A and B are shown apart, each in its own frame.
Chain A
Amino acid sequence: MSAVPRTSFLSRYPELGTAPIPVRPYLSNDYYAAEVEKIFKRDWLCVGRVEEIPKPGDFKVKRLEFAHTSVILIRAKEGSINAFHNVCRHRGNKVITETGGDETTGNKKAAVMSCRFHGWVYSAKGELLQVPHENKFPPCFNKSENGLVPIHVDVWEGFICINLAQRPSRTLPEFLGGLSEHLGGYPFHTMTHVHTYYAHINCNWKIGMDAFSEAYHVPTIHAGSFPGLTDYWQDDCELYGEHRSIAFYSRDMNPPTPVGTAANNIFGASIALKRSEPFQLPKTVNPQRHKNWGFEQTTMFPNFLIHVAEGLWFTHQFWPVAQNKCLWEGKYYTRKPLTNSERWAQHYAVILQRNAWLEDTATMEDTQDALLSGAVQEIHLQDDEIMLRHAFHIINARVEGA
């Protein structure tokens, strides 16, 4: 299927082996608990984009079910983005009520947050500014020691990342390593018109990650929405510590159709249709500048997939909720439309991608259910599924480690 014969990915990474992968990591409650403690509570996690909270006082509250917490991300007056546990220092009420469920966004006037319960007021830097009837608290209570509990936060290429550890073992740049250079310079910030989808799926978070981490499924799963992408190949696989990246190439695009062509002639915003606007990619993405290159799919360990293409990019994120439950978020980004017809054309591309994601997510609960039967103890991965194999090795080493 490949245009140019290449050596196998696995021969470049012999440490990954070729053996089948056990199914226990998808099913075991103990394994899940270890992932939460040893990975999700220790590593950097992407929780948003800077464009979501552009102005002072803008906030986003992100529920993190696995940690039984919700995180306030808020932009302070001087522009910095700060992160706190959403817990009032008085009696522990949520300072910002989560009216939006998994994500709540809004703006706090004057960049201060006021707890609804008794009116304690905090600055966007977390300082406790006001306590009604402060003089009735005993002398041992000190306002300056009772700011919001901070969470480590840093930004890379506009992605807001947090680390729940009290003392992260690595900075965000150290954590990202070579990944930072690989995707660094991709103009994420110029394509901020976002369509967001989400679903609560009854499967392990890794079942979801796996389904989006290979292109082997494209001819079968996407026969409906991407009939033109069946003659594909994968290349440019690189492992960056815990992170990984691989490219998708396709000989053809979707066949011309009246609406598809009308949309694409106005604005090419689909991975299944040609994009015409000239586009500058980072030098390690499509390094040969091959005309059949479709997109790069990069995993920021542990749970974030970034797909970059020419003129569009999209992400998937799977948040663990239980060993057999996760929250999926899919976000599709283009540049802002300039005209109403561009808005229409982009919408067509998004609808087609949404339908492809419905095709992707269709398998996830079935896979979880079927593995639960116990009928099989291991799964088999081919060379193009190296991203899954790498993920297993990295996660397993962490779970089994100290």
Chain B
Amino acid sequence: MSITLPTEFAELQPFAERWARATEYERAAERRGCTSAQLRSFYDVAIKHLPQILARVDRHPLNEIQGEDLHLFRIALSLAEIAPHVEFYDCDPHVPFAFREDRMLGFHSGRAD
């Protein structure tokens, strides 16, 4: 199913297929599959829209975001996922000097976040 964002977020549309992912596990896997340049270009566009995304998702009750806004929220979570890599790790797609990431598993009470 293709992911369509509201028109005012058209600039984010090219990133939607990759980054509007439901779980942390998927978002981290996408991040590891990116080049440094891909992380940077997503970051640069997403950070511009972050305040608007957070304002929109707060119009929904907690954990009940619907429709296009859910895609936007997941893109914001992807921005959180890649932020340390752009802001602290010199755009390395992996956590530098780390335990093998796919061996550390997350289990968040069944929540899809």
Contacts and interface: CB of A to CB of B under 8 A. Distances in A.
B9 interface: no
Interface in A196-239: 196-201, 221, 224-225, 227
Nearest to A342: B62
A359 interface: yes
A225 B113 CA distance: 21
B49 to A, nearest CB: 12
A62 to B, nearest CB: 13
B88 A224 contact: yes
Interface stretch (A120-128, A143-151, A255-263): A255-263
A194 B107 CA distance: 9
A340 B62 contact: yes
A343 B51 CA distance: 14
A362 B98 contact: yes
B47 interface: yes
Interface in A237-281: 257-260, 262-263, 266
A224 B89 contact: yes
Contact of A358 (B79, B104, B113): B104
B91 interface: no
Contacts of A258: 47, 83, 87
Contacts of A351: 24, 80-81, 83-84
A199 B84 contact: no
B22 interface: no
A357 interface: yes
Interface residues of A, number: 40
Most buried by B among A262, A341, A348: A341
Contacts of B76: 344
B2 interface: no
A99 interface: no
Interface in A311-368: 337-341, 343-344, 347-348, 351-352, 354-355, 357-362, 364
A226 to B, nearest CB: 9
A352 B84 contact: yes
B99 A358 contact: yes
Contacts of B50: 259, 262
Nearest to B85: A355
A199 B80 contact: no
A359 B95 contact: yes
B59 to A, nearest CB: 9
B80 A347 contact: yes
Interface of B: 24, 47, 50-51, 54-55, 57-58, 60, 62-63, 65, 73, 76-77, 79-81, 83-84, 87-89, 95-99, 101, 103-109, 113
